[in-house]
Every structure is written in structure tokens, then in C-alpha cells.
Copies of this chain bind each other. A is one copy, B any other.
Amino acid sequence: MATTTVRTIDAKAIRELFPFFTPHEEMRSLIYLDNGATTQKPRAVIERMVDFYSYHNANVHRGAYGVGAKASEMFENARERIAQFLNAKESAEIIITKGTTESINLVASTWGESLQPGDEIIISEMEHHANILPWMQLVERKGAKLIVWKITDEGKLDLQELQSLLTDKTRMVAVMHISNVLATVNPVKEICALAHKAGAKTLIDAAQSVAHMPVDVQDIDCDFFAFSGHKLYGPTGVGVLYGKREILETLPPYQRGGGMIKRVAWDQVSWAGIPSRLEAGTPPIAEVVGLHAALDFVDEIGRDKIEAYEWELTQYALERLQEIPGLKLYGPVDYRAGLLAFNVGDVHPHDIQTVLDTEDIAIRAGNHCAHPLGDRLGTPATARASLAVYNDEAHIDALIKGLHKVREVFQLD
């Protein structure tokens, strides 16, 4: 079942950069198709952290010279690198968090303080809980209103529909860049333009996009942009919130503690400037340094190339999935990211997962932290295969073979 596309990426060579994919005693080798949950880590990322812990470990900032200054420098260099990766104007616009979830909670808590009763927040029907629950809490606290932007039957967001939802009360439009279930790539630039015209701010949940396509926050012109390191070939325990300087500067602190103040007295506190004001306590230092290496890894391959390659692979997968009788695929098919959520007949997704697991194929099954979308699709759970740059056609072939096995075990004939 050969494809005619030109192989732009040598996935096998890339796999060799990952300990997870090199033969080892501890584990049988696995076809890893759960990249939407978390990606594997290239050796370069692991080694950068080992190097940090082994030879440069010290707490950052706050009057350290020698080794401490070097650690601070590595930390701030990583911030610079993240800014450059996103094409932010300056590194002060990069806030280090522990993940996408914290990034969005931070915005809802701090920016959200200015919300007035009756104000409106628009989120889409396809959002992950991380981009639903913080806003639900905010509107409840402020007597504001949450407006749900419904998806089309195709699983997309319709800009006309957004137009009709935007009012002079809309203060924020918060949407995901790529859906972690439908794989829809949302037109975030157009969304931001419409929102801004209506006087609203915008937040992009980029958890599923940053590792898979070029992103440019100035081009998108979003006000906030959030992602996690662990879905971007980087470590757990670290995430990023980008915000435009003029907005970040107006935000009150989020968590409070060391590093985010200028001066504390019992009767008066003055805050540090950005980004420090929004980063209380010891940051995830080694993790930020590891994330730096992850960005280098991605850019060495090239995000354009990754995007093109994963689309090729996705097309191949879409084609081959049609072979499986009774398979229902969710989300658009004209264009989409490399996530494939589906069901097979009456087989429960967990059972699909278990059968595939015995074939050494790792996929995810469940609601993917998007209950409202599940309600809309009429299925509480789906099986999801999600691709990364180290996957190739052979993995899709194995998946298809595994799904035939599922049908066999479940006697679907």
C-alpha cells in the first residue's frame, strides 16, 4: 500500500535520536501513537537536563554569582529562545508556568479580575477542559456569561457564527489552535481579527499545535498563547504563557511568593515587573533548560517540514482507515492535524486500546478531557491515534492490522 508522496522526513533516522525507540532491555519496542497525550523525548533534551543537574545546578536569580549566575543565564537564555520560537517581540512576554492548564488558569485569574457583571466570554464547543473550566469559574465569580461557539457538523468553527456571537459585551474569545479530538486546525488569525474588531481579547490554547506547525504570535496577533513542554518533545512540569507586554503589564500577580516582588513590608508590597511578577517561587529550572533543547530539536528538523510530513502521513492514515468496516472517524477530512479519533462498531474504545496494546501499539482511549464535545458527538469515548514526527507509514500499517484484529476478537463480521 505504497504512497506516492515524496518522503520529506526520515522518521527512522529521527527515531534513532530517541532512547525510547532504541532497543533496550527494559521494554519491548512500541509503536507509539499517543503523541496528543505526551510526546517522547529526544536524547538531546534528556542530556541537556542531565548536564544541567550534573554541572550547572543552582537556584536562579536573587544574588548568586558563579554557578548561580550561569544557571540564571541558562534559564533566561531559554526564555529568549522561547520568545524567538513564537516570534514574540521580547522575552519579557514569556511567562514560565507548569503547563497549558496553569497558563490558562493564570489568565482567567489575573486578567479575569477586570471582568464586569454581564461581560461575555466566548469559548468553542470543542475545547479541552483546561480551556472550559477556568472560564466557567470566572464567569460565575464575576456574574459574567459564558457563550459557547457551536461547531459545525463537519467539526469546524464557522467564522460567520462567531460574528453573530460577538457583541460589545464580549471581553475574551478563547479557543484551541488544534482540537485534541477532531484534529481541526482552527483559523486562529481570523478569529483574533474578528475578536479584536469587537474589542475583545483572545487566548489561543496551543497545546496541540506548537509541536506540529510553525506558529507566530505576532502574525496570529493573539493576546495570550498557551502551551506545555511535554507535548513538544520537552519535559513535564513546564509550560508557557505568552502575553502581549501591554496586557501583561496590567495584570495583578497570580501566585505570590519569592521572586515576584520588589519590596515587602508589613504595611506595603510592591510588585516586580514582568515576567517576574507572574512567576512566584523557584521556577522549573531544569525543565526550562530542557524545553530549550526541545525547541532546538524541532527547529533543526524544521516546522514547515514537520507540518508537511505529518499531513502526508495523516492522509495516508485517513485513506487506510477506510478499510476498516464499521469505523467511524470524527473530525474534518479535507484538512486536519495528525490526530485520528474513532470508534469501531460497538467495541468500546478501551477494548480497542487493550487489543492494540497486546500488539505493541499505544493509543489513547477515553473522553480526552472534552466532555462537552463528547456530548455533542454523541459518544462519551473514542479511541485516538495521534502522530508525531517519528511516526511513519509502517506504524499506520500496524494500526490497521491491529484494528482488523479488534474486529476479529470482537467477532464483527
Task: Give me the interface of A with B, judged by CB distance under 8 Å.
Answer: 19-20, 24, 26-27, 30, 32, 34, 37-38, 40-41, 45-46, 49-51, 53-59, 62-68, 98-102, 104-105, 128-130, 132-134, 136-137, 146, 148, 228, 230, 235-238, 255-259, 261, 263-266, 269, 280-287, 349-350, 353-354, 357, 360, 362, 364-366, 369, 371-372, 375, 381
Contact = CB atoms under 8 A, between A and B. Distances in A.
Contact of A105 (B38, B130, B235, B256): B256
A141 to B, nearest CB: 11
B63 A282 contact: no
A209 to B, nearest CB: 16
B54 A130 contact: no
A364 B38 contact: no
B49 A257 contact: no
B237 A284 contact: yes
B19 A54 contact: yes
A57 to B, nearest CB: 6
Q: Lowest 7 CB-CB distances: which A-B pairs, in order?
A: A101-B281, A237-B284, A237-B237, A133-B256, A101-B257, A130-B257, A258-B369
Contacts of A134: 255-257
A362 B58 CA distance: 10
Q: Chain A's interface: helix, strand, loop or mixed, by majority?
A: mixed
Contact of A62 (B27, B49, B282, B366): B366
A34 B62 contact: no
A151 to B, nearest CB: 13
Most B Cβ at <10 Å: residue of A27, A134, A282:
A282
- Among A27, A50, A101, A236, the one with the most B-chain Cβ atoms within 10 Å of its Cβ is A236
Contacts of A281: 98-102, 130, 228
A82 to B, nearest CB: 16
Nearest to A374: B264
Contacts of A62: 37, 364, 366, 369
26 contacts: A19-B54, A20-B54, A37-B64, A41-B53, A41-B57, A46-B50, A46-B54, A62-B369, A64-B364, A65-B353, A65-B354, A98-B237, A98-B284, A100-B257, A101-B255, A101-B257, A129-B258, A134-B257, A228-B282, A230-B282, A235-B286, A236-B284, A237-B237, A237-B283, A265-B371, A265-B372
Given A255-B101, A264-B371, A37 B58 contact: yes
Contacts of A284: 98, 236-237, 284, 287
A364 B282 contact: no
A257 B354 contact: no
Nearest to A100: B281
A274 B259 CA distance: 30
Given A37-B59, A67-B362, 12 more contacts: A20-B54, A20-B57, A27-B67, A34-B68, A38-B58, A63-B365, A68-B362, A98-B284, A100-B257, A134-B255, A136-B256, A228-B282
Contacts of A63: 349-350, 353, 364-366, 381
A45 B54 CA distance: 11
Given A237-B284, A350-B63, A354-B65, A369 B259 contact: yes
Nearest to A228: B282
A24 B280 contact: no
Contact of A30 (B66, B104, B228): B66
Nearest to A373: B264
